[in-house]
Amino acid sequence: MTALSEAAARESALSTLRRGLRISPEFSAGLAGTLLLALVATAGRIVVPVAVQQVIDRGLGKDGGHPDLPFIRTAVALCAVGVLVTAVCAYLMNIRLYRSSETGLAALRVRAFRHVHDLSMLTQSGERRGALVSRVTGDVDQISQFMQFGGLMIIVSAGQLVVASLLMAVYSWPLMLLVWASFVPLAWALRRFQRMISAAYTRVRERTGDLLSVVSESVVGAAVIRAYGAEERTARRVDETVDATRTAQTRAQGLIAMTFPSSELVAALATSAVVVCGTLLGLGGHLTAGELIAFLFLVTLFVSPMQTATEVLNDAQNAIAGWRRVLSVLDTEPDVADPGDGGETLPRGPIEVEFEGVGFAYPGGPPVLHGVDARIAPRSRVAIVGETGSGKTTFAKLLTRLMDPVEGEVRVDGVPLRRVRFASLRERIVMVPQDGFLFDASLADNIRYGRADASDADLRLALTELGLADWLDGLPQGLATPVGQRGESLSAGERQLVALARAYIADPDLLVLDEATSAVDPATEVRIQRALDGVTRGRTAVSIAHRLSTAEAADEVIVFDKGRIVQRGPASELVKVPGVYADLHASWVAQRKI
């Protein structure tokens, strides 16, 4: 269980429900009208028992036992009208409830999705991707099922209990007390049982999130699984997760199943007691035959909500468990927050970068950067080099404010990065990540992620300026070529080209490139280098260099080792000085000869 779900699990069901409704006011929109319709629909349910009582006591027994047909016809006609009005009101109530719940759930899903995107990379990496997806999809679906079925049943059942109790009291208050006395122990037991069920369904939602994570990883990583013959291990992992989910579901359903026979037993005992005691009251002249039969109808109305209470409790606990998980995401404050309107907007132009005493440590881990001081001049091309784990990528993430330092300060154009509005920051500073993620869309749509209003002519011009016109002409459908899921229709090198074109069309003033390490064919290598030259020309560029050519082409090289800057200067000078860069250079040269 993650820290997010642990905090949520301690919250009571009622508190969770209140908070959920408070952050989703769409659920209560038009509630007064819905409740009015529910009141009419519920009151209409007593029409039939009243009509039966009147027909038996007045229509059938009048004038020495001769039926009063006009009275019976009138009673039946009024009963039919009442049933019709009840049906119409119930229909309108359902429509209004469905609309308000769907509106509220759509808004809740959007809030959760946007908040997940607002969370920092650190927070997201602390949660499994499938679990986060589950909170926006499966958990909200559980809330939907409850709001549309359980919510309706709660409204109707509550009204039905009140109306049935009032009319039972009119007919015979001793019998009404007898019915209530039969169900009070069950209600008390269900309340005590609720905490166990709540905990069980919280585990169900957690196991469901785990299952989604494992299945999605297995599908996305299918090529690696087959390449290493790991099908059995993967299948075993999926089987274990499926079994854990099944076990959690079975335990939760087992607890719910215990409530069904108990409610059935109490209902049967209550009905039997009413028949026996009602007959005795009738013999004593305290209850007519019509009133006793009508009372039995009312007992059915009373018992029905009690019997469906277990089903509603099932949906409610599942929904509350889902709501807790959604709320735990919404309650998580982004540790990299947008200063909003109170922040500063950077003017367009070459960017200067300053790191002053910057240190960073991942949560629960040792420091990975120590007292980093660096200045990157406007329009300079800087290569960041170092061994794996030396702090290069962390440096890049701090520069683009995907994370904030734990000590020291990062400034751009003299402005602390924490004070720059996100809209301005993302416009001025763009990072091209190592994997160059592509979406399942056309080539044009993927490049337009850099600038949404770019026309096809703009895209062609950008690719031409990057020296990629021949590559574009060689694609089967040009800009309309589908790239496939995660860009799998393109080679690794081609995905890098698309990522560079996307950054180029965005036209940032500071470009941060986490260079890909994957090997590409010589022709693509030439295209990538040509595109890199075009993308970085005329702007401040910081490259996390994995290629020797990138470091040699830079104006300056910054060398990291164990979280510290240990060397700095032109590559041509650093290679002559014994140290980390000279060792890396020798290794690069040796690899090129292989």
Q: Could you read off the pLDDT of 363-386 as tens digits, one per residue?
A: 778 888 998 999 999 988 899 988
| Backbone Cα Rg of the chain | 35
Using CB atoms within 10 Å of the CB of residue 363, give its burial: 0 to 12 exposed, 13 to 18 middle, 19+ buried. Answer: exposed
Residue corresponding to tokens 């650190």: 122
Q: What is the CATH number of domain 15-331?
A: 1.20.1560.10
Listed range (217-226, 463-472, 545-554) with the worst mean pLDDT? 217-226
Give the span between the Cα atoms of 96 and 107, in whole angstroms. Answer: 17
Q: Where are the beta strands (DSSP E) in 39-179?
A: none
Residues 476 and 319 sit within 8 Å (Cβ to Cβ): no
Average pLDDT score over residue span 296-316? 73
- Give the mean pLDDT of 198-217: 76
pLDDT higher than 50, residue 3 = no
pLDDT at 523: 73
- In one-letter notation, the amino acid at residue 74 is T
Which pair of tokens denotes residue 437?
A: 């993620």
pLDDT of 357 reads 92
| DSSP H helical ranges for 371-421 | 392-399
Q: Which of 272, 316, 343, 395 is nearest to 148 (CA)?
A: 316
CB atoms within 10 A of CB 136: 20
Give the phi and the psi of residue 440 in degrees, each rounded to 5: -75, 80
For the chain, percent of residues with pLDDT exceeding 90: 4
Residues in the chain: 594
User: Given pLDDT bands bounded at 50, 70 and 90, which one contains residue 533?
Assistant: confident
Q: CB–CB of 145/319 below 8 Å?
A: yes
- What pLDDT score was predicted for residue 409? 92
- Nearest CA among 298, 363, 310, 359 for reference residue 166: 298
Element (H, E) at 407: strand 407-412
Q: What is the pLDDT of residue 8?
A: 47
Please give the residue that has the higher pLDDT: either 571 or 125: 571
The reported pTM is 0.64
Average pLDDT over residues 424-439: 82
Query: Which regions of the chain carry the CATH code 1.20.1560.10?
Result: 15-331
Least confident range of 91-100, 131-140, 467-476: 131-140
Of 17-31, 160-174, 413-427, give the lowest mean pLDDT range: 17-31
* Portions of the chain given CATH number 3.40.50.300: 353-593
Model confidence pLDDT, tens digit, residues 479-497:
888 888 777 788 877 888 8
CB 100 within 8 A of CB 30: yes
> Coil, strand, or helix at residue 341?
helix
Residue 194 has pLDDT above 70, yes or no: no
Q: Work out whether strand 407-412 and strand 556-561 pair parallel, antiparallel, or are unpaired.
A: unpaired
In this prediction, residue 220 carries a pLDDT of 65
Please give the CATH architecture assigned to the domain spanning 353-593.
3-Layer(aba) Sandwich (3.40)
What confidence category does residue 427 fall into, taking pLDDT thresholds of 50, 70 and 90?
A: confident
Q: Tokens for 183?
A: 């169900």
Q: Which residues contact 424 (CB under 8 A, 6 or more apart)?
A: 343, 344, 345, 346
Q: In the structure, what pLDDT confidence band is assigned to residue 6 with cuts at 50, 70 and 90?
A: very low
Distances (CA, A) of 421 to 299, 346, 397, 511: 64, 8, 17, 18
Least confident of 164-173, 193-202, 501-510, 516-525: 516-525
